[in-house]
Amino acid sequence: MILRRAAAVARESMPVDTTLLKLIATPLLVGAASLAARRWGHAVSGWVVGLPLTSGPIAFFLALDQGTGFAAAAALGSLAGTIGQAGFCVVYGRVVARHGWIPALAAGSVGFGFLTLALQRLTLPAGALALLVVAALAVTLVAMPSGRSGGGVAAAPRWDIPGRMVVTTLLVLGITGAAPVLGPRASGVLATFPVYGAILASFAHRRDDTGAAIRVLRGLLLGLFAFAGFFVVLGAAIEPLGVAPAFAAAIVTALAIQAGTLRFVVGRG
């Protein structure tokens, strides 16, 4: 009787506990990453937000709220969503030079949506999907404009980082709250929309120039290799190993890949 009562109490308290984690951990993580990104320029800022700073916490809370099977399927959705992010970058980069940041943002979002919806119809095994993601990122980097221009990092308003923290927290709460309705694949894909890449690129273009926006997106593309590595490992490991070991392995993988791409980013403005 005591054990049954304790289990019932634990189940009842779980939503409260995970909500508190979302409200505390998510804004702290994004705020710290934004401060680090601001110091080293446009390309580095894009490279930093290529890490799964939003979709990683979402995947963690999905695992806690919905179970490891749901989280594994969501990880594959997030991996597929990497191709949508690459599509966003190349469409934005090609449109922004001629038409400005608002049409570029709209066109990039449409490109992301089209690719992610198309990928929902594919049923590729994890290994084939990972190869497709890597190939898509490599092709997109070649297709992106050079982003050559002058200027440094623009001064940001005081509300910039608090605003990012609020938006990200709302996104995490919204997606995890809607996960039972959306299903694992849709939840994973929706979590990959490049919110920060879009914000950084638009802000850089408005305050500096087209080249600054493109450098953000080229940095983001390089950061997405670590993003993909994170979800490959997470999807493969979370059911056999459990939540904590799988996330630890995924984080180590992402950081190792991110360290390998750093030399292609530093010094590019």
Decide if pLDDT at 37 tops 70. Answer: no
| Structure confidence by residue, pLDDT tens digits, 227-261 | 999 999 999 999 999 999 999 999 999 999 999 88
| Structure confidence by residue, pLDDT tens digits, 191-224 | 677 877 787 787 777 766 777 788 889 889 999 9
For residue 203, give every residue at least 6 positions away whose Cβ sits within 8 Å of its Cβ, in sequence order, or none. 154, 156, 160
| Structure confidence by residue, pLDDT tens digits, 154-186 | 556 677 778 778 877 887 788 777 766 777 666
The first and second tokens of residue 87, run together, are 């599509």
- Taking the C-alpha atoms of residue 255 and residue 104, their distance in angstroms, rounded to an integer, is 30
The first and second tokens of residue 236, run together, are 């493969």
DSSP states along 217-248: HHHHHHHHHHHHHHHHHHHHHHHHH-HHHHHH
The helices-and-strands tally (H runs, E runs) of the chain is 11, 0
| Structure confidence by residue, pLDDT tens digits, 108-123 | 988 988 888 787 777 7
The C-alpha torsion from 254 through 74 and 63 to 247, rounded to 10°, is -10
To which H or E segment does residue 81 belong? helix 68-99
Coil, helix or strand at residue 169? helix
pTM surpassing 0.85?
no
The first and second tokens of residue 18, run together, are 């995970």
Burial class (CB in 10 A: 0-12, 13-18, 19+), 3: exposed
Check residue 221 and give its pLDDT: 92
Coil, helix or strand at residue 38? helix
Sign of the Cα torsion 187, 188, 190, 191 reads positive
- Taking the C-alpha atoms of residue 256 and residue 56, their distance in angstroms, rounded to an integer, is 16
- Taking the C-alpha atoms of residue 209 and residue 196, their distance in angstroms, rounded to an integer, is 18
